[in-house]
Structure 1
Amino acid sequence: MNRFMKWLAESFAPTMNRWFSKPWLAAVSSCMQKIIPFILTGSLIYFYNVFVSFIPSLPDLSPILNYSFMLITMIVAFMMANQCMEKLNHPGYTTNAGIVAICILFMAVTPKGDSADSLSSFMGNLGPSGIAVGMVIGLLVSVVFHLWGKLHFLEDSSVPDFVTGWINTIIPNVVCLAIGMIVVFNFGINLVDVILGIFMPISNILSTLPGFVLYSFVMGFFYTLGVSTWLWGAISTPVFMINIQQNIDAVAAGNAATQIVTSEAVFTLAFITMGGVCCTLGLNLLMCFSKSKQLKMLGRVFLAPSIFNINEPIMFGAPVVFNPLLMLPAWINAIIGPIYVWILMSTGLLNIPSKMIQVGQIPAPFCSVMVTQDMRALLWWAVLFVIYIAIWYPFFKVYEKQKLQEESQQVA
């Protein structure tokens, strides 16, 4: 075990951190963080609509939703190109590349055939179901701008700077738009279908129980190595957005929601992330009643953020990160959580979320009832809390014993 932990700490984790800090991956991660406010804006309106269903006289706020979250694919296209240029050190192209990405996205999503003049079809293509399209187009535009930027065209010439700036902007603009025109109009390729077709296998795998468990475990495993969970947004966000939209549409049509794997089920429900990723609320409670003065003090300091499912303090302060005694139960929790949620929802013991509410910092189990609209969530949350405490307990007691020995030696 010691050799394994040494390898994780000295070889695996540093390599992963270096890999994930590379400009392209850092840009994707940053893009996922930048779009969160727009997703939360939509979440607030969906949450508000819960009250509208009980009080119909409340004003209709759907335009706020339609012109924020329902344009998320356009926002992603801009942000992806924008962040790629920023991370690749092309500050002069950050805005322009983003705008060009939107232009090409419009080429790709503009309806054709019988629905060519349909505004609703056009707006629908810019919604959450096409978020993967926005990501790919933003990346492809960034490749062109990056390659052109590396040429440093006219950099040391006598041409005035403003003229050089125009030329170095116009040329990649024309190249990107020309490529988009040839692909979409000359060759008649439906970029939306092609890109979504590429992502479909990922969506199909992640939407299964094994994929659900694997995603949760990988996220938890790397988190215990100090690698941010934001990095996995590029994989999960398109799938989560498509799945929750399918649930919303199904319920609106009078059918039952069927897609379990959504951001609501992973985060807002606060079962898989009870206290935060790796389910550290149980550990936090045990620390609050520890015989170790240090662990008790830390537990009480960390309790408030844990209640709001924010666990960076306990992950890095307890610590769980690179602590072999606490990493193992964290990994076990990352497996138990999705299995538990899948069993409950697939058997009808708990409602599958059918509203997009991605406000993960609402204290549980209130958020659990809110996102499922099911009072049974209170019972199942309490049962799972006990399970998590039971998983943490033996490992925590061993760790506590070590801390007590350290404290006694300091006193001596």
Structure 2
Amino acid sequence: MQKVVPFILTGSVVYVYNVARYYLPSLPDLSPIASYSFGLITLIVAFMMGNQCMEKLNHPEYTINAGLASVCTLFMSVMPTDENVDSVSALMSNLGASGIAVGMIIGLMVSIIFHIWGRLRFLKDSSIPDFLVSWINTILPFVICLALGMVLFQALAVDLFQVVLGMLQPVTSYAQTLPGFILICFIPAFFYTLGVSSWLWDAVTMPIFLAGIQANIDAVAAGQPALNIVTYEATFTMAFVTIGGMCATLGLNLLMCVSKSKQLKTMGRVFLIPSIFNINEPVMFGAPVVFNPILMLPAWINAIIGPVYVWVLMSTGLLNIPSKLIHVGQIPAPFSSMLVTEDFRAVIWWIIYLAINVMVWYPFFKVYEKSKLADEQAA
């Protein structure tokens, strides 16, 4: 997923630009840039899945070929049928964020075939010239991938797109509930306090986030209200749940800046600028919060309070639900909050949440500060 993020960010830049274009209609339309970057995210995921699997499984000779085979097989699975058979828009829709799980599955399937074939070492010790052996060992697994795709998607008429969506529907539906939102926020925060980066969970959460924001974009374009609260924009870009970064550490950083402990005060002031941009690795590993029993508990509490706060605001209409792809978590709040919701009330709600965030951290911070003061006095 880290390899895919730049393509998502490309689309995000265009959506941020479109906010300015809303007020200045004379600006040129850059929507094709979004349509052919984020709009083709399933295609990109399929290629990167095959490419990265071959790299990790030590098949350098197949990194490009497996990626291309994944793309070719993907097209066989997502081509529109029936009344949409000649619809370009239907094809583009299948290649967008709603089909990202299909791209992952196709990429994995192709990777398994290439991996098994690579381990066979077919014709490796023969007298056939090396370049010919290389061609054969690329053509045969490629043919197997396309043949399997032909049997599944054409002969048996399996609609993988609908099958995957049907399988993921319970997960996606649960994710778009308050308990699901809490779990999506709490689990990465919990493991982050154990030193495990939240990037680990992107393969699980990103398809949910992208499908949610894509549905909101489509709904607004059709004149309907946005309904999906659980999106990357509401979780990260808006900087409520992740105020200061994962585990909502801005309140802790502010308390450190005015601490009686020289060490905490110095670190707090050094860490403040990154925290404003929602980058909190310095706080998490420098304060530290990671493996610190005193500070781990408020980090977990914030991971529950944040999504509940956002859910209540958006479900009651007190704050707009994001309907634009702004997949950037390092825009300072509350500017990012207002930008992603297109709602001036976001500034007020962010200030209130910052106060709540500080209050959650305060009692735990004072206990930790007391222990640090004792250490400093002893030294």
Report the TM-score range of the alignment, normalised by the length of the smaller protein: over 0.9
Deviation (angstroms), 1:245: 1.2
What is the aligned counterpart of 2:234 among 252, 265, 271?
265
What is the aligned counterpart of 1:378 among 338, 344, 347?
347
Deviation (angstroms), 1:87: 1.1
What is the aligned counterpart of 1:77 among 46, 52, 76?
46
CA deviation vs aligned residue, 1:313-356 (integer Å, no higher than 9, x gap): 11111111111111110000001000000000000111100111
Q: Does 1:205 align with 2:174?
A: yes
Correspondence for 2:376: 407
TM-score, normalised on structure 1?
0.90
Deviation (angstroms), 1:158: 3.3
Correspondence for 2:8: 39
What is the aligned counterpart of 2:191 among 219, 222, 231?
222
Correspondence for 1:242: 211
Q: Does 1:312 align with 2:277?
A: no
Correspondence for 1:324: 293
What is the aligned counterpart of 1:388 among 351, 354, 357?
357
- Partners in 1 of 2:295 and 2:119 — Cα distance? 46
Query: Match of 2:2, SS?
Result: helix
- Partners in 2 of 1:92 and 1:239 — Cα distance? 33
Deviation (angstroms), 1:227: 0.8
TM-score, normalised on structure 2?
0.98
- Partners in 1 of 2:18 and 2:291 — Cα distance? 43
- Partners in 2 of 1:387 and 1:376 — Cα distance? 17
Correspondence for 1:398: 367
Correspondence for 1:170: 139
- Partners in 2 of 1:310 and 1:156 — Cα distance? 53
| Residues 54-93 of structure 1 aligned to structure 2 (within 5 Å) | 54-93=23-62
CA deviation vs aligned residue, 1:211-245 (integer Å, no higher than 9, x gap): 11011110100111111111111111111111111
Deviation (angstroms), 1:48: 1.1
Instruction: Letter of the 1:70 partner, please give it.
Output: G
Q: Does 1:184 align with 2:153?
A: yes
Q: How many pairs were matched up?
A: 379
- Partners in 2 of 1:255 and 1:190 — Cα distance? 28
Correspondence for 1:294: 263
| Percent identity between the two aligned chains | 66
Query: Match of 1:34, SS?
Result: coil
Correspondence for 2:318: 349
Correspondence for 1:17: none
Deviation (angstroms), 1:283: 0.4
- Partners in 2 of 1:228 and 1:157 — Cα distance? 47
Deviation (angstroms), 1:141: 0.8
Instruction: Letter of the 2:83 partner, please give it.
Output: D
Deviation (angstroms), 1:124: 1.8
Segment drifting more, 256-265 vs 194-203: 194-203
What is the aligned counterpart of 1:102 among 68, 71, 74?
71
- Partners in 1 of 2:75 and 2:221 — Cα distance? 28
What is the aligned counterpart of 1:148 among 96, 114, 117?
117
Instruction: Letter of the 1:146 partner, please give it.
Output: H
What is the aligned counterpart of 1:136 among 90, 98, 105?
105
- Partners in 1 of 2:227 and 2:91 — Cα distance? 26
Segment drifting more, 98-107 vs 60-69: 60-69
- Partners in 1 of 2:327 and 2:189 — Cα distance? 19
- Partners in 2 of 1:253 and 1:180 — Cα distance? 34
CA deviation vs aligned residue, 1:158-207 (integer Å, no higher than 9, x gap): 33322221121111111111100000111011111111212212111111
Deviation (angstroms), 1:67: 1.1
Correspondence for 1:3: none
Instruction: Letter of the 1:113 partner, please give it.
Output: D
What is the aligned counterpart of 1:119 among 78, 88, 112?
88
- Partners in 1 of 2:342 and 2:70 — Cα distance? 39
CA deviation vs aligned residue, 1:78-134 (integer Å, no higher than 9, x gap): 011111111111111111100000001100111122221222221221111111111
Deviation (angstroms), 1:156: 3.3
- Partners in 1 of 2:32 and 2:294 — Cα distance? 51
Deviation (angstroms), 1:157: 3.3
CA deviation vs aligned residue, 1:287-334 (integer Å, no higher than 9, x gap): 011111111111111111000000111111111111111111000000
- Partners in 2 of 1:56 and 1:386 — Cα distance? 38
Instruction: Letter of the 1:311 partner, please give it.
Output: N
Deviation (angstroms), 1:406: 1.1
CA deviation vs aligned residue, 1:50-82 (integer Å, no higher than 9, x gap): 122211111111111111110111000001111
What is the aligned counterpart of 1:51 among 17, 20, 28?
20
Give structure 1 stretches of 5+ with no counterpart. 1-31
Instruction: Letter of the 1:127 partner, please give it.
Output: G
Deviation (angstroms), 1:393: 0.8
